[in-house]
Structure formats: C-alpha cells, structure tokens
Structure 1
Amino acid sequence: MSHKDIELSSEFEKIVDKCYNNEQPPCTCACPFGLDITEFISRLKKGKFSSAYSLYQDHVLFPEIVSRICDQPCQEKCFRKGIDDAISIRKLEKASLEFNFSNAPKNLNLPQKNSKIAIIGGGVCGLSCTLKLASHGYHVTVFEKSTCIGGSLENVLPSDIFLTEFHDQMQFISYELLLNTEIKNIEELEKNFDAILIATGKNGNSFDLLNGLNSESLGSQKDGVFLAGGVTGTLNPIRSIENGIRVSQSIESYLQINRMHEMFFVNKAKISRLKINATRINSVKCIENSTYTETEAIQEASRCLLCNCNECIKSCNFMSYYNKTPKALAEDMKNTLNGTLMNVDKRMINSCSVCGSCEAVCDEHIDTGKYLLEARRLMHQKKILPLAFHDYFIRDMNFSNSDSAYLFKNAPSYEDSEYVFFPGCQLGASDPRYVELTYKYLLSKNPKTGILIGCCGVPAQWAGDVNLSNKVIDRNCDVWTDMGKPKVIFACPTCEKTFASRLPEAERISLYEVIENWGLPETALESQKKVSIFDPCASRYNENMQTSVRKLMKRIGFDLVELPYNSKMASCCGNGGQIYATNPDLFNSSAKRSCELSENPYITYCINCRDIFINMGKPSYHVLDIMFNLNLEPQLPLSLSRRRRNREVLKANLLEEIWQEDYMLDPSEQKLIISEELLQKLNRKLILDEDILNVIEYCESTGNKLLNPKTGEFIGHLKQGIITYWVTYKVEDNCYRVSRAYSHRAVIDGE
C-alpha cells in the first residue's frame, strides 16, 4: 500500500537541519587536516593504537613530522580547556606512533593513469601533493632546484628526521625526482604535462600567477596551473602540508572534469556549531608527563568528551531507547508515512511520551515529540495507525466522558460560577476522596466554585484522532461557557496544558496555587521528612505550579532535596503519549529510570506519576495525600475495573452529598472470581473485568465455547471493537472462576 500523498510538515525537516548531532566539534574544525579527532581518540580509549595511527596517517601524510611541529590549534578549541585542561593531543599523536604495530603506509598498488603532473618544488607542500597524486596512480615528476628535498623543514627539524619520514611514507609510490633542476618558465612544462603545481616556497618564483589565485582551490587563472605552500604566503610547514593535500584534490578534480576550481570533499575553515552542556562534566586534570605510556595514553584519551551533541538522547527515555537523533527520526517518519518502512517504525512513532524533554535540553529548541504527534495524526487520517496501540485509553476516555462518570455543576444555589474545579479523569479514578475532599475545601473558601469532572481529551490527541479530540474539548468548552466562563482550577498539569493550547482565553490557575493563597486545609500533615518533588513533565513550563508546590511542602516542614531532573528539565514517568500498550519495555524503563533519580520518597502533583511509582514500589505521595491525610500507608495497585468504578462512585457521592440529589448507582455485582496474581496480569494486559464478563456471557448465551474435559474449564472468545478477547473459566454457583485471559488484534477467519 502506498501513502505517497502523506507528507510530514516541511517545517520539521528544516528544523532538524539545525540539529547539532554529528556536527563536527571545534577541535576537528580547527585541525588543518580535518582529522576526526573524536574518532582518533575513541580508538585510543579502547587501546587500538594501530587503528588510531592509521587514521592519523591517512589525514596528515607525514605523522612523524606533524606530531613534532604542529601548533595544535585543535587544543585551543578543546571544550575541556574551560573546565580543567585541554586534551593533550600532540602527546596522544606521539603515543599512536610509538605503540602501533607498524609506521609503514598502506601499499595500495593502484593501476597507473595516463595523466602527468609536474610539481615545481621539493618542499613539504610539493611532496605532500606528490604523495597523494602518485598514490592514486598519476605520473608525477618533482623538479627541485637544490640538492635536497624538504624546503623550509630545515628551519624546524633535523634533516635526518624529515628525510627518513619522507622515505618511509613514500616508499610504495612511484614518482620521478629531479634535483638541481630549476624551472625558469613553465611554457615547456605546459606542453608535456597535464597539470602543474608551483610549490617553490617562501619568496619562490610564482611565474607571475599569484594575481587572481583562487584561495579555495589554489588554482591560478591559467588552466591546469596551481600554486600552493610558501609561495602563496602560508605561514608554516603544517599549513604547507595542508595546501599540498588540498591542491592534490583540486588537480585531480581538474583532470577528471577539465574545469578549474571545482573541488570535491573539501571543507576549508569550517566553523563548528556544536555546543556542549558542561554543567554535568566532572573535572579531571591532564597527565603532566612529557610522553605517555600506553596506560597513560588511554587514561588521557578517556578524558576526552568525544564531543557530540546528544543531550536529547541523554535526557529523553524514548530517544535513548531507540538511540535516534531528531534527524534520524525525521527520516524514519517520512519513510513510514510513505509506506517504505515496516510496522516497527509505526510502533516507534507511537512510543514517544510527548513529554517535551527533547526541546527543553536542545539549544535549538527542536521539539521532536511535536512532529511525532503530527505523524500520528497523519497515520490516523490515512487509516494506517494501529488502533490497538491506543484502544484501551480511548475507551477509558470515553467512559470518563460518559453519563456514568461525567459531571458538571455550578455550586448549590448558584446559576454560574466564579471558579470551576477541573480535577481531570484519573484523580477520582485513583481515589474518589481526592476530588471529594478538595471540592469541599474549595467550597469552604469560595462558595461560588463549580465542578467539571471528565477527561480533557488528551488521550485522543495522543492517539492522533483530531476529530475525537476536538469533540471532547469542544464539549468541555461549551460547558465552561454555560457555567459563566469561570476561572479554571486544575489539579492535573496535563489537563492545564491541554486547556492552555485549545482554550487560551480561559483564566487558569493550579489547585496548588489556590491552596497556597487560600490557606492549608485543617487536615494537612506536618512533617520534617526528607523528600524530593517529582515535577510531572506536563508542568515543564508551568513555573507557578511548580513553585507553589514547593512552597506548600516547605510550609508543612518537609526537607526538600531537588532531583537532578526538575522544573524545565522534568523527567517523564512513562505515562505520557499512551506508550504502555505500544512499548511496555520503554514504559517500564522510563518508570524505573524516574524512580531511581533519588532514594528519597517522592511527592508529585500528577496522579499518574504517583500511581505508576507506587506500582513500581517507589514510596510516593500526591500533594493531596499530604493535604488530606490520605493513602500514607503502602497499598496494592488498583485494578483497572476498580478505577472505573471509582469514577462512578465519585459522581454519585458528589451529587448526593453536595447537591442532595438522589442518584442510582448501578449495582456492582461481583460475578467473577479472579486471583490476585491473575488480576495483576490483567492490569498489565489492559483487560477489564467487563471485557472478560462480556466474553463469558456471550459464550454462555450462544454455546460458542469449548470444554476441556480434564479440567472442566470452558474456553471462548469474543471480538469487542478491534480487540479479540479469550477467556478460560469455570462456572461456580452463579459465578465464574477465571483462570486465564488474553487478547489480540488478529482477525479470525470466518468471523
């Protein structure tokens, strides 16, 4: 199936171009040879000296010379210089020479080409160009007017060192060297050679070709003639070697396409855009020895940060799990939407918790989650999004917004409201008392406070279902309008964030700011216990909410210890984006990672965070536990069905206690017998008691079931929506003892 009509926002592709990942670090950009210094040092860190030397040799051509005289511009750009000491690059270069197996170059033995190149000058620039071109199979002739090669190197190194190095590095190439041969004009050379390099050194003969020299390609205005090295004004032998390498590329390009000044793979004087967050880097001083042993070289190499911007991968559970940068994700999204990748990438797109941590740590503010969410919307629109990923959460949202649980009322005796309390759908699901006690507190402080209980619509938003999300939000907006457009009090950061994006005209305030301003409930605990506040990811940019929670906890007496990820850098508990059904492994690793941020008990103000941490065995409390003295002892996780029932109970209790309205709550007849072990499994599989009972009642009423004569158990199945449920059960005294249940989304032939 092709989906080529689906296009992700072009804005994202433009934005990810700003990503620093794989941007060359400043040290590599400063290196005249463009040596990949992080790769060089990475090999040394692993003790791979020969591999590191090979990389170094390929780039600098004459490693013995360069390692002795390089002025180390890379070291000046090292990020560590501003923390402790820059990496000792030259000492590491020398270590690669000393501890590798062989300093001999590779013998490529390439076939000879027909082109002939003349190089005027046997200095380090001319010889660098010679080595590059001759190793590629070109016929090279070097004309040197003196009796010895090396040129300006005589001023900085003993001749035996550089002559030995020239011999060693050029031993496998074939070229002609003519000493005592001065070229006074180039007309004759132009007749016999396909290209000419003038590398006559400082104050050497330029043959009047410097005027109009292209500083990038080093090509003159005369076709086939190039100038490089000291004759062009290079300041030292290192720059002359770089010139020789660069001009060899220009000459080869000219010979291939017969055009001057068109170079391939040349990146001169590149400026690095890379930035590094130094706040979490430990200071480690360099090893001061003049030369390094193998062990010392590995230790010094280990100080290198291997600079690459991966802040989003380090902070984001999703990106860390897939080890993908925004650029890689953008490509995967595009291919998935065009039908060129498999379902695994659909799973990946639906595994983002949309928590915003990637944007928070990114200097370019790239919000990858925003575009993953856009990809979900496009997939839903074209009916290629696996609905099973979000099925349970959509059904749960629909239940919260059904007549069984949805409630909106102005306060008794009032026709409109000054405030309206919006607790969200999960607070009452966890414990109806959270909402009941909070609302009674609010009424005691301001009698003109209404209530609106339902879901904000974010499950549909996370599922990419725009129409359903709009339907839920529009309904809540209409109710808000009918109540007199009151100021909305939010207990849930996600609800507040959802309303802010869709109903910005509504005045919003967090419940915790209200309690801070209106005063603590009489039931509020006092404690000097050491705790850490876990900021929900949805509160990332809600500074008022975060601050008010801290003030409340300090007022009570808690000793607050901040987590390493807090406020704008808040971590995700794993609940966001409805990733549980899509990627349980990622959900569990995210929750575990968040639990391990501190040994202290957590206080949070998102009920999903609190419940997830409790289920993981992490001592955690909601702010309302502290305010109303609730749930302070360890508890067993609630079943999904109990969470539904709690919402029904909440609505009934409020109508009866606050408005004195008779409300007939459907009786909760317990017809299923389920062990605690199986119950926990059903929770993990997102299977409700209702789903199981529907299967059993269908099997009993239709006879579509199979009997296992050995166990006396029946097994049957029923497709409910897009999911097929299977149940194994026994009939016992008008009840059903369930021993097994599972679900899948495969289609059964014939049904």
Structure 2
Amino acid sequence: MDQQGLHDIEYRCIQEEQPACQAACPLHVDVRKVMTLVRVGDLAGARKLLDRTLPLPTVLGRVCDHLCQGPCVRGSIDTSLAMGAVERTIINATGAATKPLAMPGKGKRAAVMGGDVSALTVAWDLGKKGYGVDVYVAGEAVGGHLLGLSELLPAGALAAELEIMGRLNVVFRAGQTLNAALLDRLGGEYDAVYVEMLDANFLSVGREAVDAVTLALLGRDGVFCGGFVTPGQPLSVIALAGEGRKAAVSMDRHMAGVSITASREREGACPTRLFTNTQGVIPLPGVVPADPGAGLTPAEAQAEAARCLECQCLECVKSCTYLAKYKGYPKVYARQIYNNLSIVQGARSYNQMINSCTLCGQCEELCPSGFSMPDLIVAARRDMVSRGKMPLWAHEFVLEDMAFSQSAAFRLVRAAPGEASCSHLFFPGCQLGGDPAASVPAVYAHLRAGLAGGVGLGLACCGAPAWWAGRQELAEAAMAAFRADWEALGQPRVIAACASCQATFARLAPEIPVVSLWRVLLDETGLPQVGVSLPSGPVAGVRLPAGPVAVHDACTGRHDVAGLAAVREILGRIGVAVEELPASGRLASCCGFGGLQANANPELAAATLARRVAESPRDFVATCSMCRDRLAGAGKRTYHLLDLLFPGGSDDPAERPDPGFSYRHEARARLKRQMLETVWHEPQPPETPPALPLVIPDVVRQVMEARHILDTDVARTVARAEATGRKFTDTATGRHLAGFATARVTYWALYELIDGAAHIHAAYSHRMNVSGVDRQEG
C-alpha cells in the first residue's frame, strides 16, 4: 500500500466528514461539540469553543443567522435544533470576550477597505496571526449594518470587540473616501489589501472579476475582494464572515509567500458525505422558552441541546465487535495498518489487530460508501507474509489443519463407482466432513439417486484458510490441485454445502460452475421425505423444533441470494417457522471463526460469538458446520439444517456439543475410509490402535481445545517419552512430564500410566522458532 493507495482507502470512510450543521456553516463552527458541552451544562466550555472559531464572538454569537439550522438532521424527524438561540444563550451567560491568543508579529501589514462584517473578519483573523492591520472606513462609525441590529446587541458589545481588535494591532481609520485612488495608494504601501464590496462597488466589478477559490482580484496582485451583495438575496451575517475568513486565509498565504490555492476545497459552506442513521430515533419537540422575548434560559438551552443526535456514522463499528474493540473506525485503522507495514515493517505494533478481523464483509454492506475492511486486511496480511513478518501464532494451526484436509488421510476426488466422469460433484467441505452427525454419506446417496448424469464426490479443502491467512500462493495451489481433478472428471458442476467454499470458488476459480446444495435439494432432487409428497408433511424420523427458529446465515454466503432464500423455503416446507435475526442475509454477522479470528484472538472471537448468540432467544438453524459447532459450544441450541433433513440418530441434535478439533481430524479420516468401503467397495486396512490409549478428562480436553493441541499431539509426546525414557518423573505421585518438539511447536504432557493407558492430567504447548537450533521432529 503506497500513500496514494492509503488516501484512496481513507476516502471511503466518511466518519471524519463534518456533520451537516457544521458543513453548512461558512465558518465551520463545531455545532455538534457545542451541543455536547451545553447538554452537560458546560456553557463555559462551549464559549471557549465559539471563541476559537468565531471572529468578534460576542457580536456574531448573538446576531448569527444560523445557516446550520436548516440542514439539521433532526429536522427530518421533528424540528431542527434551535442552534441560534442556544448560541445566544451561551454568549449571554458567559460575559464579555477576552483577547484571543495572537501569534508573534510578522513584520508585514495589510489594509482593509470597509467596516462591515467581512472586513472586520479579515482584520480580526489577520490580527490574530500577527499582522498589522489598518482598516479604512467610510464615515465615522465602524460596523456597517451591525449598527442596525441594536435589538440583538446590548449596548457596548460591538465597541468592546473593536477595543480587543485594537489590542491585536488593528488600527481603525475612519472618515475615509473609499475609491480607486485610495486602492492604488494602499496597494503600494501594504503587503496585501482587502476590498469589501458590500456598500459601494467603486471598482465596478462583480464576482466574475475575482477568483472563486481565493477571492483574489484577477489581474491585480495582492488585492482581494469579498462581501458582494447578491441581488434579491437576504444579507447573511455569517456568510459575510465566511467570505472574510476565506480572504484572510488568502492574504496570509500571499504575505507568507506560499500557495494561495492549495487545499481550499472545504472552505465556506460545503457538502458533506456523513451519514447518520435516524432509524429508531424518538421524536422530541423543540424547547419553547418560557419568556420568548428573553430567549432560552441556560436550563432550557441544556434541554434543547439534549435533542442533538451528535451526528456521526460508525454504522460498521456499531455492528462489529472487532471494529469496536480497537476504539476507532476504518479510516483510523487504515492509517495504523499503513504505519505498521511501512514504518515499523510489521514488527509487532498492530499485528494482532490485523489478524483479528473475521473478513466477513458486513462492514462493506453497512457502510454508505462501501468501505471494505476485508480488502484492507487481506492486503496487509499478504504484505506481512511476503516480507516474513507474519507471526507464527496467528494462523499456523489452521494451516496445519488445512494441510491435513489436503493429505491422503482425507482427500478424495472421484466419480461415482464404475464411472470415469460425472455431471455433478458433491463438495461438502472439510468442516462438514468432520461433523459428528455424519450426514455426508446420506446426502451423497440422495444426490446420486436424484440427479442424472452421475454425481462424484470431492473431499478436500477449497483453500479458504490460506486465503484468510494471506497465503495467496497456498490458496491458489489448493485450488489448482482441485481444478486438475475437476477437469479430469469432465468439468462437472460443483454442489457446495459450505458457503465459504462457494465464495472461495467464486474468488479463485470463477470458471468452475458452483451451486448451493440447498438449491439443488429444493429445485432438483426434492427433499428427503419418505412416502410423503413435498409440501404435505415433515421429514420422516425428524423431531422438529417446537417453535420458530432463527436462521444463522453464514457470513461468507451473504451474497448468495438464491441459497439464502432456499434455506428459508426448505424450513417452510418441512413445517418450521422462521424468525429473522436482526443481522441476517446480506447483513449476517460472523460466528467468530471467519478470517481465522478464533485462532488469532480467541477472546475477541468469543465476544463476537456471544454477541451473535444474544440476538435471539430462539433455537438457531445454521447451514455451516463450523458455525453450528461454535454456537453450540457457546451454549446456544443450534441445529444444522442437515440435522432436520438427514437425521443421524441424535435424540436432540440441537444439544450436540462442539466436537473439537481432534474429533474433526479423526472424523474426516473416518469419512474417507467409510466412503471408500461402502460406496466404492474398496476394503481399507484396519486402523492401528495407539500403543498407549489416552484417557483425557473433559477439563483437560477443554484446555487442549483452547490451546489447539490435538489428541495425536499428546499421543506422540507420550509415545516418544515411553520409547526413549526422556521424561521427568515425580516419584511421589508417579506422574510423568514429557516434551516433544516438532518443527515449530513443542508439546508437553503431564500423564500417569494406569492399566496400560496414559491418563492425561495436563497439556500445553508453545510455538516459536529458535534461531540456530535444530528442531527436527523426533
């Protein structure tokens, strides 16, 4: 990611865009912050904020015509905030202004021709910046049309502000004749000149004669013009002040000798892309002052400010446990990730943050401008992998699990018995292949019976874990291996039972036709009912949920509209009512396994899962095996849809626990052996029992599961210790402690030999590379 790429990514996040009120204000007063301070009763703090933003604050704070009020988002719900009235309350309650902080003198001087709002703003701003300013005024009184607003301004308010300006090195020269001759003279005596066009346009020019961005008078170096009157339009005090500020910025830059055109896009009233979700906002009537003539009291202003929505977007952060965890929003994360990759070179600072995203894509669906954290995170992970900066702990266990699924222990891609090719290929995915419900054989038999042209079976991994881990080459290698088998089988249509597999095929092999298993069951084979026509009754042998269920859609299938609809139609046909979760379909939430979050950040994955579980008290139905098992592991009653269509004998499949990683390994290997024996009638050699059977209590197994330690890892550790005698023995208890170092992982087991079995009391491991140490397995 280069700087331009970073800017392109940042631009898509709109959280830092100004609220509609602030964007509409020519001076960009932070109305949101002002209202926040008033809401908590901090009028002094609100006044400080106004003083930092407004020129002549005790004057403009009272006479401002609040252009911010019209665009107020609250106005679409009930009535806009009374921003002008709140602002006047702040000024009235906090007393006279104090001299603002000014910069040291710069040794340059500017002249201002005119004494109305825009001219006074130019003088105020340049005086604060350390310039000497002389204000040339026609007549004896300074203030222009402010002098006619006595009903809003208490006596002496304007004079007090002018006195402050005098202490900012601003000198008022009244009784002047403002004409072209004076301009010519001032142009030679001062470093920059501002001409206010409000009353007498002695230059006989209109807006077309000045640059729209800088207000520079075309063809006249160092002269700037503003305060034009637009015929038929009401005079706006705050718009005049905004024009004066724009001119002051140009004059400052001109006198400093820097570009007067750079970075001027957001000056004055401007559009904003900020989105504020008003769904569910309760209407609240505006506060009516008890004494309309006196305006809002401080208490009334506080109540009115409490109606402020404090507009911001954060749509993605509100819905994502991961984004909320790191106390920011996508634009902030983009900068942090860029710094991590380009400055500290992936050393450590944000590694866990980069590796903790589920890559589910919900944020992109919620974002009004389509910001995609997955795109950013995958690019960052690939960058870290390419430079050898990806920490081992983040993904290694899952990549080892993927390697197992690609090994001869599980991999099996072939046509039906006696056939060399097929029209369809059932691809259950590696996690469903390890499901304890063992539904794959029944589904495969059903597909073979219902589809013409032959149905093959594909047991393998699609490569999704490698893609999630940023191992692009490994993911593509897995898909290339599958593609070769697919072509050898005559390029059949793939029937995918896993949404992640379906998404991975679309990403890495779009030429391979893939359809959801649920659509095939619904549209082509019919549901597996015994002696009953489709719509008329439930599947034989299935105990259906007692009430409505909530469908947990796999986040990776959020764009499979046909598949999502099929799931709901299947449930309807077998008589199961559905209550939609708040985050379903296109907006589905992740279970915490996606993107390998559960491996890189187990605590965050548990919080992600808990948030999903809390969305409904209903039983869940999932179509992803890993989602089902994780939900069950969190105590949520959850069915796999195949539990309802192809019952596996469990009395209550919604209560089936998460089987764990070790069971899934064994179940995958067992599935391949079963399919070869029962479908292809190929006898398999008997499984070799372990030399020492393991007895693992549930409490120890839970620790092993959390630490990603398989039964086979513990079995190897114990077997090696017993074969070599390399172990520590506690003579008091008879327990042994043994370690076993593989290429990068050292496993430890505390065990006791009882009646020819190893009773495991504890197990732990650590993953690291130690430079210069030979750690060959065994």
CA displacement, residues 355-386 of structure 1 (integer Å, 9 cap, x when unaligned): 11122223333323123223322322332212
Q: Which residue of 1 aligns with 2:342?
A: 338
| Structure 1 segments of 4+ aligned residues over 6 angstroms from their partners | 207-211, 231-234, 263-266
Q: What's the offset of the Cα at 1:453?
A: 1.5
Q: What's the offset of the Cα at 1:555?
A: 1.6
Letter of the 1:482 partner, please give it: A
Q: Which moved more, 1:225-234 or 1:715-724?
A: 225-234
Distance 1:188 1:722 in 2: 82
Do 1:699 and 1:716's aligned partners in 2 also have CA atoms closer than 8 Å? yes
Q: Which residue of 1 aligns with 2:537?
A: none
Q: Which residue of 1 aligns with 2:55?
A: 61
Q: What's the offset of the Cα at 1:617?
A: 0.7
Q: 2:425 aligns with which of 412, 420, 437?
A: 420
Q: What's the offset of the Cα at 1:394?
A: 1.4
Q: Which moved more, 1:169-178 or 1:685-694?
A: 169-178
Residues 73-152 of structure 1: matches in 2 within 5 Å? 73-100=67-94, 102-108=95-101, 110-152=103-145
CA RMSD for the aligned pairs? Answer: 3.0
Change (3 A) 1:468 1:624: same
Distance 1:708 1:294 in 2: 76
Q: Which moved more, 1:51-60 or 1:420-429?
A: 51-60
Distance 1:382 1:114 in 2: 53
Do 1:253 and 1:262's aligned partners in 2 also have CA atoms closer than 8 Å? no
Q: 1:222 aligns with which of 207, 216, 220?
A: 220
Q: Which moved more, 1:134-143 or 1:638-647?
A: 134-143
Change (3 A) 1:236 1:270: closer
Do 2:93 and 2:298's aligned partners in 1 also have CA atoms closer than 8 Å? yes
CA displacement, residues 331-351 of structure 1 (integer Å, 9 cap, x when unaligned): 333333335153132222222
Residues 339-354 of structure 1: matches in 2 within 5 Å? 340=344, 341-354=346-359
Q: 2:549 aligns with which of 517, 531, 535?
A: 531
Q: What's the offset of the Cα at 1:145?
A: 3.2
Distance 1:232 1:572 in 2: 56
Residues 408-487 of structure 1: matches in 2 within 5 Å? 408-446=413-451, 448-487=454-493
Q: What's the offset of the Cα at 1:647?
A: 1.4
Q: 2:680 aligns with which of 631, 656, 659?
A: 659
Q: What's the offset of the Cα at 1:657?
A: 2.6
Do 2:495 and 2:517's aligned partners in 1 also have CA atoms closer than 8 Å? yes
Change (3 A) 1:158 1:671: same
Identity of aligned residues (%): 28
Do 1:131 and 1:170's aligned partners in 2 also have CA atoms closer than 8 Å? no
Do 1:228 and 1:244's aligned partners in 2 also have CA atoms closer than 8 Å? yes
Q: Is 1:684 aligned to 2:679, yes or no?
A: no
Change (3 A) 1:210 1:746: closer
Q: Which residue of 1 aligns with 2:498?
A: 492
Distance 2:687 2:153 in 1: 99
CA displacement, residues 627-658 of structure 1 (integer Å, 9 cap, x when unaligned): 12355252333232122111122222223333
Q: Which residue of 2 aligns with 1:646?
A: 667
TM-score (norm 2): 0.88
Distance 1:98 1:585 in 2: 52
Q: Which residue of 2 aligns with 1:622?
A: 640
Do 1:203 and 1:231's aligned partners in 2 also have CA atoms closer than 8 Å? no
Distance 1:266 1:446 in 2: 62
Letter of the 1:331 partner, please give it: R
Do 2:63 and 2:152's aligned partners in 1 also have CA atoms closer than 8 Å? no
Distance 2:635 2:420 in 1: 46
Letter of the 1:175 partner, please give it: V
Distance 1:47 1:337 in 2: 44
Change (3 A) 1:34 1:534: same
Q: Which residue of 1 aligns with 2:598?
A: 580
Distance 1:193 1:239 in 2: 26
Change (3 A) 1:95 1:739: farther
Residues 177-256 of structure 1: matches in 2 within 5 Å? 177-183=172-178, 185-186=181-182, 187-190=184-187, 192-199=189-196, 201-203=198-200, 205-206=202-203, 212-220=209-217, 221-229=219-227, 235-256=235-256
Distance 2:300 2:717 in 1: 69
Distance 1:541 1:41 in 2: 41
Do 2:58 and 2:97's aligned partners in 1 also have CA atoms closer than 8 Å? no
Q: What's the offset of the Cα at 1:275?
A: 4.4
Q: Which residue of 2 aligns with 1:3?
A: none
Do 1:25 and 1:272's aligned partners in 2 also have CA atoms closer than 8 Å? no
Change (3 A) 1:360 1:175: closer
| Unpaired stretches in structure 1, ≥5 consecutive residues | 1-6
Residues 565-576 of structure 1: matches in 2 within 5 Å? 565-576=583-594
Change (3 A) 1:246 1:471: closer
Q: What's the offset of the Cα at 1:747?
A: 4.6
Change (3 A) 1:710 1:746: farther
Q: What's the offset of the Cα at 1:109?
A: 6.0
Letter of the 1:249 partner, please give it: V
Distance 2:590 2:355 in 1: 15
CA displacement, residues 585-630 of structure 1 (integer Å, 9 cap, x when unaligned): 2211111111112222111111111111100111111111111235
Q: Which moved more, 1:325-334 or 1:610-619?
A: 325-334
Q: What's the offset of the Cα at 1:545?
A: 0.5
CA displacement, residues 693-739 of structure 1 (integer Å, 9 cap, x when unaligned): 22222233333322334443322322223112222222333322222
Letter of the 2:279 partner, please give it: R
Do 2:37 and 2:43's aligned partners in 1 also have CA atoms closer than 8 Å? yes
Q: What SS does the corresponding residue of 1:198 show, helix, strand or coil?
A: strand
How many residues end up aligned between the 2 structures? Answer: 743
Do 1:124 and 1:237's aligned partners in 2 also have CA atoms closer than 8 Å? yes
Do 1:217 and 1:263's aligned partners in 2 also have CA atoms closer than 8 Å? no
Q: 1:376 aligns with which of 353, 372, 381?
A: 381
| Unpaired stretches in structure 2, ≥5 consecutive residues | 290-294, 530-539
Letter of the 1:167 partner, please give it: A
Q: What's the offset of the Cα at 1:33?
A: 0.8
Change (3 A) 1:390 1:210: closer
Q: Is 1:516 aligned to 2:511, yes or no?
A: no
Q: Which residue of 1 aligns with 2:308?
A: 304
Q: What SS does the corresponding residue of 1:433 show, helix, strand or coil?
A: coil
Distance 2:226 2:155 in 1: 20
Q: Which residue of 2 aligns with 1:4?
A: none
Distance 1:95 1:570 in 2: 47
Change (3 A) 1:364 1:287: closer
Do 1:65 and 1:165's aligned partners in 2 also have CA atoms closer than 8 Å? yes
Q: 2:362 aligns with which of 357, 364, 381?
A: 357
